[in-house]
Structure 1
Amino acid sequence: MSEHLKEAQEAAAVDLKRHLLLRVSLFALAIGVAASAVVLQQAVERIGTHIQRTGNTVERLIAGEADQTRDAFRRSLDGMTLASLDGIGPLLGICVAVDDIYKRPVVRRCFHAGGEAPAGVRWALARLIGPELQYRGVIGQYPGVKVGEFVVTPDLDSESLAVWKQIQTVLGMTLGILLLNLLIYRPVHRALRPADQILAVLGRMEAGELTARMPRPRLIELRRIAAGFDHLAEQLQKTLAAQRHLALRLLAVREEERRRLARELHDEFGQCLASIGAEAAFIRGRAETRDPDLLPAARAVAAVTAHMMESLQGILLQLRPVGLEEFGLQAALGELVGGWQRRQPDCRFELELRGEIDALPDALRTGLYRIVQESLTNALRHGKPQQVVIGLECDETGCRLQVDDDGTGRKEPTAGSGLGVLGMHERVEALGGRFALQPRRPRGMRVEADFPAEAVRAVEMNHE
C-alpha cells in the first residue's frame, strides 16, 4: 500500500521550472494558432465583401475600355488587354477573366504588386475561400448590345501575401512571448538552483550525517524553509545526542551491574560451592574407611558440586569478560574464541584483527566484545556451523565488525525477533553505529556492525 502511495506521489510531483516553461510555451503557441486562424477568417470575410464591392467598378472600367476602340456594329472584343485596370488592379488584388459572346477566352489577367507567400498559406486560403467566390458580369455596348462576359475572382497570390504579412506579425508576437518565457525561466531557474543542493543535504542527513546544514538561497521562501529545517535538524541532533548519552549510560550501568553480580556470585556462591566440594571430599575419605555405603552419596555430591562450579564459571564468563579490562579487547576476544573452540572441536574458528583495537574507548570495546559473544552464541545454538570467521578492523575511518558462519539451522534473518539480536541492535545504535543481520548464500548468516569515526569520537567524549 505504501509503495502504491509513493508511486502516486511521485507521479503527482511537479517540476516548477519545466511546468512554467511548458505552460507559457503552450500559451504562446495557442495564441499564435488562434491569431493565425482569426487572420485567415477575417481575410476570407474581407475578400468575399471586397469581390462583391469591386465587381461593379470593374464592370464599368471594362465596358469603357470596350467602347473606346469599337463602333456600334462591331461586337468583337479582340485586342482587349484590360489596360483600364492597370492602375487600380494591384490595389484591388483581383483576377479578371473576359470571354466573348461565344464563350471564347479573350484575356486572363491577375493584378498583384509582387512578392510571394508560403505555399501553405496560399493553400489554406484557397481551401477556405473555395471556387464559388467570384463576381460575374456582362460587357455591353451601346445601344444595349452584349459583346461578352467577365469573371472577377480574388488574386490568391496577392491575398495570401497580405495574409502572410499579418501572420508574420502574429508570429512575431508569439516569438516575443516565447522570449519573455525564456527571460522568466532564467531567473526562476537561478532562484531554484539551490534545490539540488538542498536535496544533497537531505541525502547526507538520510545517510546519518546530522551535522549537514542547508544552503541559504536568494529566494526568500526557500531561505525561510532552509532556516526552519536547520533548526529542526539542530533539535534532532540534540535529542539524538541526549538519547545516545542516555543509552551509553544505561550500557555502562548494565555492565557495572554485571560486574557486581559476577563478584557476588564468585565471592558468595563460589566460596559456598568450594566449601561443599571440600566437605564432600572429607565425607568420601571417611566413608572409604568407616562406612562404604556412603561413598555413592559422597561421590554424587562431589559431581553435582563440580557441575555447579562449571556452570557458575560459564555464567561468570557471560557476566564479566575475562581479561577485557586487564589485557584489552584483542586478548579477550582470543580467549573467547579459544573457549568456544575447546567446547566445539568440530567447528573451526578464525579470528582476524587489524588496527589499533585496544586503543578504542572502553564502552566501544565492551560493546564489540558483547556483539561477538552474542553472535557466536546465536550461531552455535541455532546454526550448527562448521566454520565461523570473526573479522574486526579499525582505522582512521572507524571500526567494522563482521561475523560470518556457514550454519544450516536458519534460513532467514531474525533481526528484531530475538532478544539477543535485539540487544545487539540496541547496543550498536547506542554506540552510534549501524547494525545489519543478513543471510549468506548458499547458507549461513552474517552479522555486521559498522562504527564510523564520528561515532568512535562521540563515544570517547561521552566516556570522558
Structure 2
Amino acid sequence: MESDLDRGSLWGDLLIVALVVLAAAGLFSQIELNEWLFASTRRWEALQVDELPAVLVVLATGLGWFAWRRYRDARAEVRKRQVAEARLEALLLENRRLAQQYLRAQEAERKSLARELHDELGQYLNAIKTDAVSIQDRLDAAQSQAVSAIIRHTDHLHAVVRDLIRELRPVALDELGLQAALEHYLDHCQRRMPRTRMSVTLNGDLDSLGELLNLAIYRLTQEALTNVSRHAQAGHVAVRVSRSGPPVEAADAVTFNISDDGRGADLIQTHAGLGLIGMRERVEMLGGLWRVTTGPGQGFSLFARIPVSIQGAMP
C-alpha cells in the first residue's frame, strides 16, 4: 500500500510538471518557436529536418514512458523492501523475547543450584567441621593433627562452595538489592586484586530496576572484572553505574561503564571472546546500547546504556 507521504510526493511531482508545461506553452507562444524552427530549417528541407519537433515529441514521450516504467519498478522494489524490513523487525522482536525467556530459565536454574549447594553441601561441610572440632580435644597429638587437617580441608571446601554460590546467584542481590550486592562484590574484587586500585561510583535509585535488569548489571560487572583480573594487568579500574532519572520518567535508563588502564587489545585482529559476546547480547536483549573502546596499550572500556521500562521497573 502507498503511504500518505508517497501519494503527496506523486501529486506534487505532477503539479510541478503541469506548471512547467504551462510556463513553456506561454513562453513559446511569445517567441513563436515553431515559426522560427520552420524558417531556420527550410534550407535543409531535403533532409526533412523540419520534422525534428515531431521526432522530439516522440522521443520525449518514449523517455516519459521509460521513466514511468522505471518509477513503477522502483516503487515495487521499495514496497518489497518495506515488507522484508517489517518481517525482519518482527523476527528480531521474537528473537529478543526468546532470549529473555532463555535468560530467565538460566537464572532460575542457577538460583536452584546455588540453593542446593548452600542447603545440602554447605550444611554437611559445617556438620563435618563441627564433628571434627568436637572430637579433636579427646585425641592424642598425632590424631589431633590429622583432625586439624580435616578441619582445614573442610574450611577450604566451604570457601570454594561459597565462591561458587556467589558466582551462581548473589545472595545479597535477592536480600539487599542491586546497590548493596554490587558494593559487596566490588569489595570482594578489591581484596582479590590488591595491586589494582579501584574507584567506584554508584548513583541513582538502583534498587527498583526489576530482576532482569538487576541480574544484567550484576553479570556485566562480574564478567568485566573477571576479564580485568585475568587479562588487563591494570593499575586502576573505574566502575560507574548510574540511573539517569526517577522511575516515572519515560527516558529512564541505567548507564554502566567499566574502564581500566591495562594493556588493552586490538579488536580487529583479535576476535571477541565469548564473555564479550555474551555481555553484548545481554544488553541488546534488553534494548540497550553496547560499546567497547580499546586498543593496544590504551586500556579497555565497556559502556552500556539500558532503558528501564516503566512496567517492569519495580520488582
**Is the contact made by 1:244 and 1:430 (CA closer than 8 Å) also made in structure 2?**
yes
Aligned counterpart in structure 1 of residue 200 of structure 2, from 326, 351, 373: 351
Aligned: 1:432 with 2:287 = yes
CA RMSD of aligned residues (A): 3.8
Aligned counterpart in structure 2 of residue 411 of structure 1, from 265, 268, 273: 265
Aligned: 1:402 with 2:251 = no
Aligned: 1:325 with 2:168 = no
Aligned: 1:264 with 2:116 = yes
How many percent identity over aligned positions?
32
> What letter matches 2:114 in structure 1?
A
**Is the contact made by 2:266 and 2:296 (CA closer than 8 Å) also made in structure 1?**
no
Task: State the 1:309 CA deviation.
Answer: 0.9
> What letter matches 1:361 in structure 2?
G
TM-score, L = length of structure 1: 0.49
| Partner Cα separation in structure 1 for residue 295 and residue 252 of structure 2 | 26
**Is the contact made by 2:198 and 2:237 (CA closer than 8 Å) also made in structure 1?**
yes
| Partner Cα separation in structure 1 for residue 206 and residue 89 of structure 2 | 28
> What are the within-5 Å matches in structure 2 for residues 59-458 of structure 1?
220-287=72-139, 291-395=140-244, 396=251, 398-408=253-263, 411-413=265-267, 417-440=272-295, 442-451=297-306, 453=307, 456-457=308-309
- Structure 1's unaligned 5+ residue stretches are 1-161, 192-218
Task: State the 1:274 CA deviation.
Answer: 0.3
1:17-59 deviation line (CA, Å, top 9, x unaligned): xxxxxxxxxxxxxxxxxxxxxxxxxxxxxxxxxxxxxxxxxxx
Distance 1:166 1:333, change over 3 A: farther
Q: Work out which of the two has the higher radius of gyration on C-alpha atoms and give 1 or 2.
A: 1
| Partner Cα separation in structure 1 for residue 220 and residue 270 of structure 2 | 14
**Is the contact made by 2:262 and 2:297 (CA closer than 8 Å) also made in structure 1?**
no
1:295-321 deviation line (CA, Å, top 9, x unaligned): 221111111111111111111110112
| Partner Cα separation in structure 2 for residue 273 and residue 342 of structure 1 | 25
| Partner Cα separation in structure 1 for residue 100 and residue 309 of structure 2 | 13
Tell me the secondary structure at the aligned position of residue 237 of structure 1: helix
| Partner Cα separation in structure 1 for residue 210 and residue 93 of structure 2 | 17
Task: State the 1:415 CA deviation.
Answer: 7.3
**Is the contact made by 1:415 and 1:437 (CA closer than 8 Å) also made in structure 2?**
no
Distance 1:416 1:398, change over 3 A: farther
**Is the contact made by 1:364 and 1:459 (CA closer than 8 Å) also made in structure 2?**
no
| Partner Cα separation in structure 2 for residue 263 and residue 441 of structure 1 | 42
Distance 1:296 1:412, change over 3 A: farther
Distance 1:415 1:397, change over 3 A: farther
- What does residue 12 of structure 2 align with? none
Q: Larger relative contact order (C-alpha < 8 A, sep ≥ 6)?
A: 2
| Partner Cα separation in structure 2 for residue 428 and residue 369 of structure 1 | 12
TM-score, L = length of structure 2: 0.70
Task: State the 1:226 CA deviation.
Answer: 3.4
Task: State the 1:242 CA deviation.
Answer: 1.4
Distance 1:326 1:177, change over 3 A: farther
> What letter matches 1:284 in structure 2?
Q
Task: State the 1:366 CA deviation.
Answer: 0.7
